[in-house]
Structure 1
């Protein structure tokens, strides 16, 4: 009986030691689980941040595309205006030439023709200034288009990198 009692005491001690080992393992595993949960939460937060940033970049890309379309449309309109002004300028230059030929032929008095020539020269200068301004505006719009295209390209490359 004493042997059995001592064997049971040894078995009990071993069972307690094994239970403590298991409890220690459980505690360690719970700590690991908490660490994994914390890591998962961090990655979820990072994913949310990246998704928000992606949405913002895509929104900016759409806005840039819209702005690019507007700039191109404006650029086309300015190009049409420049062409119309060039035609007007050419027509007025032809009129001046014809009037100068008439002056040479003596079809009108010198004084009247000089008035007409001055008026047409003034109109020509005004049209030339307007043409120069339109060309400058066209160049500015073309510059805007180039910048917008560069921005769109940069945004697309940033999106593709992600």
Structure 2
């Protein structure tokens, strides 16, 4: 466990947030994590680090099985055309690397540069599973507690139905 993760867990504990933690092999994609989804109860997530054409950054969390509609998403975020953010911006702003993207990384964004958006179904879920700043573990907590943590860290999330592409 990294020093940053230790601080994150202490911050969650200070808020009275109860969570479960599962250690596992590194997973870099939702596809690679499908086996874990069967073993770990609760909603699983897909996280996107995005930047709009005006230079604003977003961390969008949606259900793991969904495919975000990047053409419709700007309207929900109040932004312009979106593209994927660069790894160096992710490391600088959130202290994480690709494959470890998590809404909990907002804890590291003390400058409050990144806007967090959370799918409404996840915000209401009994258990939401996310990475704890690394892709070799998963933590589960209630959606309400995830929202409460983000709010406490100055990152009150946009809670909305994240538009998705329909399966073909």
* TM > 0.5: no
Indicate the structure (1 or 2) with the bigger Cα radius of gyration.
Answer: 1
Bigger strand fraction: 2
TM-score, normalization by structure 1: 0.17
Select the structure with the greater relative contact order (CA < 8 A; seq sep ≥ 6). Answer: 1
Bigger helix fraction: 1
